[in-house]
Amino acid sequence: MVKRVLVSGVILGAFLALLSTIVSNQGTAEEGKKNPQDLAVERSRREVRMLDDIYKTAVVLVTEHYVKTDSDLAAGSAFKVLFESIAKKGWHEARLVDATGHPYSDLNLPKEGFEKKAIAELLAGKPSYDQVITEDGKRYLVAATAIPVVMEKCIMCHENYRNVEKGKAIGAISYKVPIQE
Ligand code: HEC
């Protein structure tokens, strides 16, 4: 009888100890941690930063090495095709947007809503601007990152960049990335 009480006491004690470890672990694990939805947005922001580095590095490389005259295929035109095929595959949407008011193609004017707001923010000096939107119950990160005149050669085709203050945005890459919850 005493033995049984002792045994069950030990079992109960062990159970309580285990329970308190679980509770305290949960406590410490959650301390300082953002909720999962915020973490998903952070991952999408990281994805945009990576894409932005890849796309912009590639645009500069193409312009530097392959574009010799204003009749050569512009990186801007080649990337339009690239962006279309990436969107068709369902990865994300991306497009080149003008910030000067005088685009090469009017199709590249910022769209009403997010893009107009984002261009205003970039012209005010922000390097990037983003928002979380919901469409059909799915969340997306829409983002825009500034494009300054990175090389003299850009002016060969975009005469209007000549008078733009150094470092100021003349355009943006606008993104729409699905948020993986
Ligand atoms: C060979 C000519 C050429 C050069 C050089 C060139 N672009 Fe373009 N750019 C174009 C053309 C053509 C388009 C329009 C593409 C389309 O939408 O079909 C364009 C589009 C753009 C757009 C979208 C807004 C708009 O004007 O339609 C931006 C932003 C842009 N270029 C930035 C740059 C930057 C920055 C450089 C230098 C790294 C550069 N371009 C060099 C020809 C050029």
Q: Which atom, in ligand 1's list, is nearest to the CA of 60? A: 38
pLDDT score at 76: 95
pLDDT score at 37: 85
Q: Which two tokens stand for residue 107?
A: 């199709």
CA distances from 31 to 26, 34, 35, 84, 143 (A): 8, 9, 11, 43, 30
Length of the chain: 181
pLDDT in tens, 89-131: 999 999 999 999 999 999 999 999 999 999 999 999 999 999 9
pLDDT score at 8: 57
Ligand 1 binding pocket (C-beta < 6 A) is 59-60, 63, 67, 70, 72, 74, 76-77, 80, 96, 98, 103-105, 107-108, 147, 149-151, 153-154, 156-158, 170-171
- Could you tell me if 98 and 108 are in contact, meaning their C-beta atoms sit under 8 angstroms apart? yes
Residues 6+ apart with CB under 8 A from 145: 48, 52, 122, 127, 128, 172, 173, 175
pLDDT in tens, 24-66: 444 444 445 778 889 999 999 999 999 999 999 999 999 999 9
Q: Which atom, in ligand 1's list, is nearest to the CA of 171? A: 29
